[in-house]
Amino acid sequence: MNELDFYSKVKNWDFSMIHYTSESLTNWDLYSLLKEYATLESKILDLGTGGGEKVLKYFPECQEVLGTDFSPEMVETANESLKKSGKKNISFRVMDNLHMDTPDEYYDIVVARHTCIDAKQIYQTLKKGGRLLLRGVDKLDCWSLKCLFGKGQAFFDTKPISLIDYEDIMNAGFQKVELVPIHVREYYETKEDLLALLYKTPILLDFSEEEDHPMEELEIDSDKIDQYISKNTTDKGILLIRRYYGITAIKE
């Protein structure tokens, strides 16, 4: 299974109905960096924009923002939200991150959040001096849960996706590339909230960055999930330890 196959099947990536809180243990925030680097004249490309909620809520004022996603359903959702927002400098359209058709040397900043990328194509669409800001999900994400089930996203991969992305970005020609591990504690209010997350993401699927596997239906063993919840319930909720990564890079 690959990332495009999985999310094409899920289609609905709305997490707003999942009740949880989070605590970041790492001082690395994509949106703070974006606000630091962006100016009123900046042109920003957001890859894997989903329903556009992050762009509409967190992106700074600038000249132009294009949010792209390979899912027509999600782009439709984003455009509906855009109409309600009244913002004129933002647009959304369908595009596959691995077959980008954006102009060469056009954007000042490219943002990629939890999505597949082609570093060479991103390098090509950035202006000289432009920046890439990337946030992804790493191999050790939800590791105790994956170990309990004996499977999961990148569970059998020999190299973490963070290192794969880092090497690809370096090889594409970027300079001043920095890779930062991001540690987050998430607390889910109920079992139903946790299950909603697991059905919307490939956390417990045989999902690999190194090789494709046949598409599978997610079946969650009720005894094992109950066992996990029993061991990880706190006064803040059901604990899930997340492992993300952030990468910043410059086209010099």
CA-only gyration radius of the chain, Å: 18
Mean pLDDT rounded to a whole number for the chain: 91
What is the token pair recorded at 189? Answer: 């209010």
Q: Per-residue pLDDT tens for 171-213?
A: 999 999 999 999 999 999 999 999 999 988 889 987 666 555 5
Q: Per-residue pLDDT tens for 113-163?
A: 999 999 999 999 999 999 999 999 999 999 999 999 999 999 999 999 999
**Structural domains of the chain sorted by starting position, each given as residue range(s) with its CATH number in brackets:** 3-250 (3.40.50.150)
Q: Per-residue pLDDT tens for 72-87?
A: 988 999 999 999 999 9
Average pLDDT rounded to a whole number, residues 44-48: 97
DSSP states of the chain: --HHHHHHHH-----TTS-EEEEE-S---HHHHHHHH--TT-EEEEES-TTSHHHHHHPPP-SEEEEEES-HHHHHHHHHHHHHHT-SSEEEEE--GGG--PPTT-EEEEEEESS---HHHHHHHEEEEEEEEEEEE-TTTTHHHHHHHT--TTTT-SS-HHHHHHHHHHHTT-EEEEEEEEEEEEEESSHHHHHHHHHHSSTTS---SSS----------HHHHHHHHHHHEETTEEEEEEEEEEEEEE--
Q: How confident is the model at residue 14 (pLDDT cuts 50, 70, 90)?
A: low
